[in-house]
């Protein structure tokens, strides 16, 4: 767990989030707990659902979802360019474009406000009347925080922080009551999932439908252009040959170094014996000699 967290937090893909990190805008403990899906599963639990959800959240945080921009960077064979095939704007389908594409059923602000109402309905349906009251006391503040300008992602609202799965620390200051904060976080999670379900998953299905009309299958999106693949394979072969040569040289060098050490030990022992007035004739058979020493280098 600690390893992947460290790798994520040190990724260049998070530079936009860490550039002004000294402002302490984000609650990284809550964020990493959410990204690792510990809000739903414990550390000891594991399932295909957990793995799939965690994969989505990590890729989304890094803006590494399989958009056409990402696939083109991977040099996928069947794609000619990274233009969005859903809308008529002739724009590149970047991670940002996905969330504001005019083919989406609703805008980010609309989904936010509708999600608050849906969450209240969810609580009411599950007979959580006390939680409904808590939500009503904080729903305006939740919306206000998310619609305000982000201090980190310049030119964007805090909704874009949520889209990445990053929990703004301002939510922690809405209340000091533990139970109320738990409902605020649950609401935050609910809104995040609404964005995923109403934009990303619908986009995924629509793109798959359009690709099918073009004769593009899912497995085709994993194939790289043959030329680049051949280049990589050739580079791998050359690297393998070079490594073998290097290993051979290293073995020869190690043997020479080892022989040198044996020679030094033999000489020093005999010189030491003579210096101490000991007859080396008596020690000769017990002193290791390089001439009789062999080493298996295989």
Contact of 258 with 252, CB cutoff 8 Å: no
Burial 251-289 (b: 16+ CB within 10 A, else e): eeeeeeeeeeeeeeebeeebeebeeeeeeeeeeeeeeee
Give the C-alpha separation, 115 to 194, whole Å: 7
pLDDT tier at 272, thresholds 50, 70, 90? low
Q: Which two tokens stand for residue 248?
A: 């051979």
pLDDT tier at 44, thresholds 50, 70, 90? low
**Average pLDDT in the 153-177 region?**
97
- Enter the pTM of the model: 0.71
Chain segment 177-224, per-residue pLDDT in tens: 999 999 999 999 999 999 999 999 999 999 999 999 988 876 766 665
Contacts of 165 (CB under 8 A, 6+ apart): 31, 34, 35, 57, 60, 61, 192
**Average pLDDT in the 24-33 region?**
93
DSSP for 54-71, please give it.
HHHHHHHHTT-S--HHHH
User: In what helix (H) or strand (E) does residue 279 lie, and over which residues does it extend?
Assistant: none
DSSP 225: P
Give the pLDDT score at 294. 45
Chain segment 255-264, per-residue pLDDT in tens: 677 666 555 5
Does pLDDT of 292 surpass 70?
A: no
Give the C-alpha separation, 269 to 287, whole Å: 8
Work out the number of other CB atoms within 10 angstroms of the CB of residue 142: 20
Q: Which two tokens stand for residue 114?
A: 């509708």
Work out the number of other CB atoms within 10 angstroms of the CB of residue 223: 14
Give the C-alpha separation, 55 to 35, whole Å: 9
Give the pLDDT score at 160. 98
| Main-chain phi, psi angles of 76, to 5 degrees | -65, 135
pLDDT tier at 8, thresholds 50, 70, 90? low
Is the pLDDT higher at 90 or at 279?
90
Q: Across the chain, what does the average pLDDT equal?
A: 82
Give the pLDDT score at 280. 45
Give the pLDDT score at 225. 54
Q: Which two tokens stand for residue 200?
A: 């990303």
**Average pLDDT in the 117-126 region?**
98
**Average pLDDT in the 131-145 region?**
98
Does pLDDT of 21 surpass 90?
A: no
What is the separation of C-alpha 266 from the centre of its chain, rounded to a whole number of angstroms?
A: 56
DSSP for 119-157, please give it.
HHHHHHHTT-HHHHHHHHHHHHHHHHHHHSBPSSSTTSB
pLDDT tier at 139, thresholds 50, 70, 90? very high
């Amino acid at each position: 767990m600690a390893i992947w967290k460290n790798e994520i937090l040190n990724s260049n893909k998070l530079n936009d989030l860490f550039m002004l990190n000294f402002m302490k805008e984000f609650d990284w403990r809550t964020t990493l707990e959410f990204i690792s899906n510990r809000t739903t599963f414990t550390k000891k639990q594991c399932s295909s659902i957990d793995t799939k959800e965690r994969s989505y959240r990590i890729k989304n945080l890094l803006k590494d979802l399989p958009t056409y921009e990402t696939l083109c960077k991977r040099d996928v064979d069947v794609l000619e360019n990274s233009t969005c095939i859903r809308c008529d704007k002739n724009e590149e389908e970047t991670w940002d474009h996905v969330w504001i594409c005019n083919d989406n059923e609703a805008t980010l602000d609309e989904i936010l406000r509708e999600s608050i109402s849906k969450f209240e309905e969810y609580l009411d349906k599950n007979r959580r009347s006390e939680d409904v009251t808590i939500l009503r006391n904080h729903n305006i503040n939740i919306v206000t925080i998310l619609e305000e300008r982000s201090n980190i992602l310049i030119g964007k609202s805090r909704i874009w922080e949520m889209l990445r799965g990053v929990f703004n620390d301002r939510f922690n200051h809405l209340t000091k009551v533990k139970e109320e904060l738990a409902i605020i976080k649950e609401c935050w999670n609910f809104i995040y999932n609404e964005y995923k379900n109403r934009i990303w998953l619908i986009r995924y299905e629509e793109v798959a439908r359009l690709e099918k009309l073009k004769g593009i299958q899912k497995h085709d999106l994993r194939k790289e252009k043959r030329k680049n693949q051949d280049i990589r394979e050739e580079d791998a072969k050359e690297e393998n040959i070079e490594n073998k040569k290097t290993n051979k040289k290293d073995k020869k060098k190690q043997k020479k170094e080892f022989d040198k050490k044996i020679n030094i030990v033999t000489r020093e022992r005999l010189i030491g014996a003579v210096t101490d007035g000991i007859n080396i004739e008596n020690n000769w058979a017990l002193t290791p000699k390089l001439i009789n020493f062999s080493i298996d280098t295989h």
